Homo-oligomer: A and B are copies of this chain.
Amino acid sequence: MTIRQVNTGNLFEDFHLGQKFNHGVPRTLTQADASIYLSLTGQRFALNCSQVLSKECGFKAIPIDNLLVFHIAFGKTVTDISLHAIANLGYAEVKFETPVFAGDTIEVTSEVIGLKQNSNGQSGIVYVHSLATNQAQQTVVSWIRWVMVPTRIKKFFDPKSAIKKIPHYQNSLHAEQLIIPTKTDFAAWRASVSDYQFTINDLNIGDELFHQDGITINAADHMQATHLYQNNARVHFNRHQMQQTNHQTPLVYGGHVISLCRAISYNGLANTIWLVAINSGEHTAPTYADDTIYCYSTILDKQPIEHRHDVGLIRIALTGYKNLLVQPQQINATDSLETLIPNSQIVLKLDYWALMII
């Protein structure tokens, strides 16, 4: 008999600058994906829940939550880019360009835009620019990310000859680079649909919002979510194998933590109705099943949109942390939530732009 080795993903030596990938498994997104996402995250943003409301605002149907679109698009890149990743180091310039509706089919491509050998000779960093397009060849979402990937053979590291091409990326997209969904108009938005919460005029740069709720992640929750995203990274599904690592249990896909924090942030930010871009994202510590996720937000910037009196742009730092109960009296006694959350409990730092009701 012959044992045929199955394609097992790429190691550092397998990547070169300018290399392009057409990732597998094209996917038609459905209203069912949106409902499952809702049941796995507790998402409540009204625009993604009501067909009546989304049509009133100029959409042809309920738009699929941009984070769900991102996770599914991202999942497609795993086989080629990060099946063996030691760490997902960061994202940048995640830009949502075209709304996705149930029935749209997305495909994803990536290009290697940076490579850097690590001095230990055992790993390197791969930077890719990825692009998800719909069946009409419109770009749905594009992003840069970089991952640490092991080398096949341990190499002597010579700083003079080492591969080092770090691409340029922006720390934050500028307001004028952001894409507002066309033909939308939120003038008819009623305060009641988002529980009479803050509008953009209620918030100032520097304000902090404590989002109150915590959500405990069950093993089934994060595995089902990550399967829904068709993200097949091995570290998420195999408890048997992970028991033999330092983690001792599967890692929760970092994108799912982003979704939980975004869902929790409905308490206070219910009027941030549309995710426009992610400037940067960092999973500062691993999350495991049975962890309880909490979060707070800091307002980083506000920008008007020309000719729009219904919505503005708001830039928010979303900080996710775990397994720490902050008491109301602690909040009342401090000037900044930052002082209440030790770094060791923080699992997520996300910097994003959203459309927010005026």
Whether the pair B42, A35 counts as a contact (CB closer than 8 A) is no
> Does A323 count as interface, using CB distance less than 8 angstroms?
yes
B residues in contact with A290, CB < 8 Å: 239
Given the known interface contacts A28-B52, A49-B25, A216-B240, the answer about A35 and B228 at a Cβ–Cβ threshold of 8 Å is yes
> Does A178 count as interface, using CB distance less than 8 angstroms?
no
Interface range on chain A: under 10, 10 to 19, 20 to 34, or 35 or more? 35 or more
Interface string of A122-135 (1 = CB under 8 A from B): 00000000000001
A3 to B290, CA, bound (A): 29
> Does A337 count as interface, using CB distance less than 8 angstroms?
yes
B residues in contact with A40, CB < 8 Å: 224, 227
A59 nearest CB across to chain B (Å): 12
Whether the pair A6, B244 counts as a contact (CB closer than 8 A) is no
Given the known interface contacts A39-B228, A325-B244, the answer about A203 and B4 at a Cβ–Cβ threshold of 8 Å is yes
Interface string of A271-288 (1 = CB under 8 A from B): 000000000000000000
Whether the pair B35, A2 counts as a contact (CB closer than 8 A) is no
A306 nearest CB across to chain B (Å): 27
> Does A336 count as interface, using CB distance less than 8 angstroms?
yes
A225 to B204, CA, bound (A): 37
B residues in contact with A190, CB < 8 Å: 22
B residues in contact with A337, CB < 8 Å: 3
Interface string of A1-16 (1 = CB under 8 A from B): 1111111100000000
- Give 3 closest A-B pairs by Cβ, nearest first: A24-B195, A240-B292, A220-B220
Q: Give A contacts to B, CB under 8 Å.
A: 1-8, 22-28, 30-36, 38-42, 44, 46, 49-53, 62, 79-80, 103, 105, 135, 190, 192-198, 202-204, 206-216, 218-221, 223-225, 227-228, 230, 232, 234, 237-241, 244, 250, 267-268, 270, 290, 292, 298, 323, 325, 331, 334-337
8 contacts between A and B (CB under 8 A): A1-B208, A2-B204, A2-B206, A24-B194, A32-B32, A39-B227, A39-B228, A216-B238
